[in-house]
Amino acid sequence: MRHFFFGGVNPAPHKESTRRKPIARMERQPSQVVIPLVMSTGEAATPAVKPGDRVAIGQPIALGQGLSASAHASVSGRVVAIEERPHPWGGVCEAILLENDGRNTPWSGRPEPLDPTQVTRELLLARVREAGITGMGGGAYSTAEKLRQAAGRVDTLIVNAAECEPYITADHRLLLERSDKILQGAQTLARALGAQRAVLVTEGDKLNAAEAVERRLRKRSGKVELCTIGTRYPLGAEKQVVQTVTGREVPPGGTPLEVKCVVLNVATVFAIQESLFRGKALTHRTVTVTGGAVARPRNLWVPIGTPLRCLLEEAGGLREKADLILTGGPMMGTPQPDLEVPVIKSTNGLLCLTGQERRPADQESVCIRCGKCVAACPMHLAPVFISQAVRQNELRKLPKLHPEDCMECGCCSYICPARIPLVELVRQAGQLLEKGGQAQ
Ligand code: SF4
Ligand code: SF4
């Protein structure tokens, strides 16, 4: 294991309540699912069904083009409406509402499983596009597009199972329970993309999963390397993982492709494996339902489109008032005021924090120039100067401070003793720069 200076912070992991809980199917299926037409970067997908149509699991119901991904029915039943609904990323978005008939009928047009030895680059790209796969670790970028750009240009495929956000154990459980399929997916991907190395990265606190992978590796002939990294947050972020595995630094504003790497989240690799060898579209995913306010924290296998409310009910509801509800982890998650919003392809967790668990909401005070935000920033930025430039409207200083390189990891806000909302101010600075540095 190599060591680099990354900055970062050490938040309490809080993974104990779900790390030993196997992924469970939902006992009560949702009566209705809401499939937004936007679940990836790019334009909204175009509906391929109309109200009244009958659908089966895996049937394409909205077609993506270019950067956007297609969407598929995650339950069998009937289309009830296509209308605007609240979206977990904020605001509203057109969505297809499906009434669940509870029969779990699979779509008869499901593509045939492929023979592992016959997966060509073209077949891989076509199958991944057809299955509507997107980044499932938060990025939500079209996976078909990412693979198209990477094909023939990368020497290293990195499967990221680091899952460094506190509380979330969805990827940990998937790696532990489906390691064989994930390794098969990684080998197939590396071969089809022309990458010489395939490296699976996990954090040191997932020893049981790493052992499971090692056992499988001993039995497999193909080569996948296992790399265990430290548990410091955000060592598992894309650019940090590339540097740990290859020693190469992704240039500011660049992507891993520029240093001949492609990084895929472990759940994405599992979805690719399912699409290739079982003909399955991306209709379900693992979601960790946790936090001190949740009665029975657990890991669930959830149909995409399930309202967050149903996940919470499946976990026994709230045992005490939640002070903050988020999708994702506490560092980079998105607050969710409305539990009717659905699980989408990038939703890895539903987190319900008590007042005690939340970072103390002290009053903001003045900067004491301690430099902790600078030391913690994994992108080597100076959040203190960026925030001051924004607040004092000294926007001409921004270009040299490169707020556009911020990965919104939240380390600066987390560490700041003055409780200055640094990540929001750095984000604001990036937006101002994009608009040409005009004052608000
Ligand atoms: S400035 Fe951005 S990248 Fe740096 S610590 Fe803050 S949120 Fe993370
Ligand atoms: S961590 Fe907060 S108090 Fe310390 S230098 Fe940065 S902004 Fe100022």
Tell me if 331 sits within 8 A of 11, measured CB to CB: yes
Given pLDDT bands bounded at 50, 70 and 90, which one contains residue 360?
Answer: low
3-state secondary structure of 301: strand
Residue ranges per structural domain of the chain: 116-278, 372-434
Tell me if 193 sits within 8 A of 157, measured CB to CB: yes
Query: What's the CA-to-centroid distance between 408 and ligand 1, angstroms?
Result: 5
Q: Which CATH architecture has domain 116-278?
A: 3-Layer(aba) Sandwich (3.40)
3-state secondary structure of 263: strand
Average pLDDT over residues 211-238: 87
Tell me the Cα Rg of the chain: 22
Encode 152-176: b = buried (16+ Cβ within 10 Å), e = exposed. eebebbbbbbbbbbbbbbbbbbbbb
Chain center to CA of 204 = 20
Residue 30: CB atoms within 10 A of its CB come to 23
Please name which of 90, 70, 22, 79 lies closest in space to residue 327, comparing C-alpha atoms: 90
Please name which of 345, 306, 303 lies closest in space to residue 25, comparing C-alpha atoms: 303
Instruction: Establish whether residue 408 lines the binding site of ligand 1, counting it when its CB lies within 6 angstroms of any ligand atom.
Output: yes
* Probe residue for ligand 1, chosen from 381, 387, 425 as the CB with the greatest number of ligand atoms within 8 Å: 381
* Probe residue for ligand 2, chosen from 359, 373, 377, 422 as the CB with the greatest number of ligand atoms within 8 Å: 373
Query: What's the CA-to-centroid distance between 356 and ligand 1, angstroms?
Result: 25
Query: What's the CA-to-centroid distance between 378 and ligand 1, angstroms?
Result: 7
Given pLDDT bands bounded at 50, 70 and 90, which one contains residue 362?
Answer: low
Tell me if 62 sits within 8 A of 344, measured CB to CB: no
Tell me if 233 sits within 8 A of 411, measured CB to CB: yes
Confidence check: pLDDT of 361 > 80: no
Given pLDDT bands bounded at 50, 70 and 90, which one contains residue 66?
Answer: confident
pTM (2 d.p.): 0.93
**Residue 56 tokens, joined:** 């089966």
Average pLDDT over residues 359-385: 90
Q: What is the mean pLDDT of the chain?
A: 93
